[in-house]
Amino acid sequence: MPVITIANTKGGAGKTTAAALLTLELSKRGYAVTVFDSDPQKWISQWLETAGHHPLINVVSHVTPASLECHIRDMRPNDYFIIDLAGEKNQITATALAYSHHVLIPVQGSGMDAKGAAKILDLIAQIRQQTGLVIPHSVLLSRVNPMVTTRSMLAIKGLLAQRGVEVMATPIIERAAYRDMFDLGRSLYELDPEKCSNLDKAMSNARDFSDEVLKLLPSRIISSSRAPRHNGWNRAA
């Protein structure tokens, strides 16, 4: 019953794209996925509504700290929960982080994205200091220009690694297919390869990204060991 949270206090960092790709890939592999859409714009809710009913995907659009806790307590062993957080730091953010088996922090190549990521990293550290709860987390490089050289990518990862930040090996590449998904209300696998450039590369990127996320999760997850300890950390949000 893994809980994966996608967080950055800055909007437009690529959180919803990451959540959508991960949701699609997990459901394609036969997993039941519940997506918590706490973004006020409800982009992922609108996308899934337009795309039509999928038997393995459920979306929760009204998210509060209490409702999040209730859903997680009631989740079935083989379910995946993906939490797409709003671009802000609040009690929902703190609650989601504390329940997470892994937190993905999307970052583009901008100072504002880096500052938003730093706020999430600070909150994760604060929760650990106040509760002893260790929250696994990684930075996800998002909307990476496909023309960026391998040397440039290694330089970015190296800089983050020097600061003690784990960086996923697989970035989410900027692809027209990801925009078309939301514009047309379809999944990657419903897009027309004749009309969507580099669709095969987008699919491959989505698969590689999801494979790496699954490898980041513990092989055995016991839900009771991940319950947050409410001793003041949520008020710090």
Q: What is the block-wise mean pLDDT of the chain (237 residues), using blocks of 10 residues?
A: 90 89 94 91 89 86 89 80 89 93 86 78 92 93 76 67 81 93 91 94 96 85 42 43
Residue 227 lies in a domain: no
Residue 231 lies in a domain: no
Pair 233, 126: CB distance under 8 Å: yes
Residue 222 lies in a domain: no
Task: Identify the pLDDT of residue 153.
Answer: 65
Task: Identify the pLDDT of residue 236.
Answer: 42
Residue 145 lies in a domain: yes
- Residues 95 and 228: their CA atoms lie apart, in Å, by 8
Task: Identify the pLDDT of residue 150.
Answer: 62
Task: Identify the pLDDT of residue 92.
Answer: 92
Query: Any bridge partners for residue 138, and if so which?
Result: 104
Task: Identify the pLDDT of residue 73.
Answer: 83
- Counting Cα atoms < 13 Å in the Cβ hemisphere of 174 gives 10
What's the pTM? Answer: 0.86
Residue 237 lies in a domain: no
Q: How many separate domains does the chain show?
A: 1
Task: Identify the pLDDT of residue 225.
Answer: 38
Q: Which domain holds residue 102?
A: 3-217
Closest CA to 179 of 21, 33, 11: 21
The amino acid at residue 67 is S
Residue 148 lies in a domain: yes
Task: Identify the pLDDT of residue 222.
Answer: 38
Q: Count of CB atoms within 10 A of residue 189's CB?
A: 10
CATH number for position 39: 3.40.50.300
- Residues 57 and 50: their CA atoms lie apart, in Å, by 13
Residue 224 lies in a domain: no
Task: Identify the pLDDT of residue 175.
Answer: 93
State how far Cα 41 lies from the chain centre. Answer: 16
Residue 234 lies in a domain: no
Structure tokens at 37: 């859409």
